[in-house]
A and B are shown apart, each in its own frame.
Chain A
């Protein structure tokens, strides 16, 4: 149990385009989902916290207009990188928490490369 999927696993796009990444909890309802960014050999940096049916809470320094997050249902959250630039190239990981629980379950990550 407690499986989280991400799609796509890898994406290459041209500078200026937008990319949508999906995060799904497959066998539980995720009241909260988190989006992280990770640079090579670095820690995970929390970008935003997403609660179903409400606006996401962004961490300081994360542009909410650039990284659009939608948590439309208890099993799906999406992160859209708008007008992507090469510096947005990174590994994006989502995680999900069931209501009242402490453990986060992570997706396998999405590798984004912006040319």
Chain B
């Protein structure tokens, strides 16, 4: 089934550095969404980018989408310890039901 796959699986950085996570998928999509999950909690929707968009910003987040390469990236600038979480991409290929990848575990050291 269609599924976004995040890369890397784990990322460890220092506070203030930028964090980049990538997501690849296999078939055509309507949209791609990024979510954040703190340990043992639900998911928080970060940003949605549609298939006809190439880049989107929200605060310290920047998302790009390259449909020719079937990939997306999430950039968190000037990271903070509070950004420590797992980040998932979800591809919207079944109407609006996103299909999740395994996630990238981000640790930001203070």
Q: Chain A: residues with CB nearer than 8 A to chain B?
A: 4, 6, 34, 41-44, 46, 49, 91, 93, 95, 97, 101-109, 111
Q: B59 at interface (Cβ–Cβ under 8 A)?
A: no
Residues on B with C-beta less than 8 A from A41 are 102, 105
Query: B96 touching A44 by the CB < 8 A rule?
Result: no
Query: B98 touching A104 by the CB < 8 A rule?
Result: yes
Q: B56 at interface (Cβ–Cβ under 8 A)?
A: no
Known: A43-B102, A101-B96. A106 touches B42 (CB 8 A): yes
11 contacts between A and B (CB under 8 A): A43-B3, A43-B88, A46-B97, A49-B97, A93-B43, A102-B92, A103-B48, A104-B98, A106-B42, A107-B42, A108-B41
A42 to B45: give the CA distance in the assembly, Å. Answer: 18
Please list the 9 inter-chain residue pairs (A to B) with the smallest Cβ-Cβ separation, ordered nearest first.
Answer: A106-B42, A106-B43, A108-B42, A44-B100, A43-B100, A102-B96, A43-B102, A109-B42, A107-B42
A6 to B45: give the CA distance in the assembly, Å. Answer: 17
A98 to B99: give the CA distance in the assembly, Å. Answer: 18
A64 to B43: give the CA distance in the assembly, Å. Answer: 25
A104 partner, pick from B40, B96, B103, beta carbons under 8 A: B96
A42 to B44: give the CA distance in the assembly, Å. Answer: 16
B42 partner, pick from A42, A93, A101, beta carbons under 8 A: A93
A6 to B41: give the CA distance in the assembly, Å. Answer: 11
Apart from A6-B42, A41-B105, A102-B48: 20 A-B pairs, beta carbons within 8 A: A41-B102, A43-B101, A46-B97, A46-B99, A91-B40, A93-B42, A93-B43, A95-B43, A97-B96, A101-B96, A102-B31, A104-B45, A106-B35, A106-B44, A106-B45, A107-B42, A108-B41, A108-B42, A109-B40, A109-B41
Query: A43 touching B42 by the CB < 8 A rule?
Result: no
Q: What 0/1 pattern do residues 35 to 79 of B give for CB contact below 8 A with A?
A: 100001111110010000000000000000000000000000000
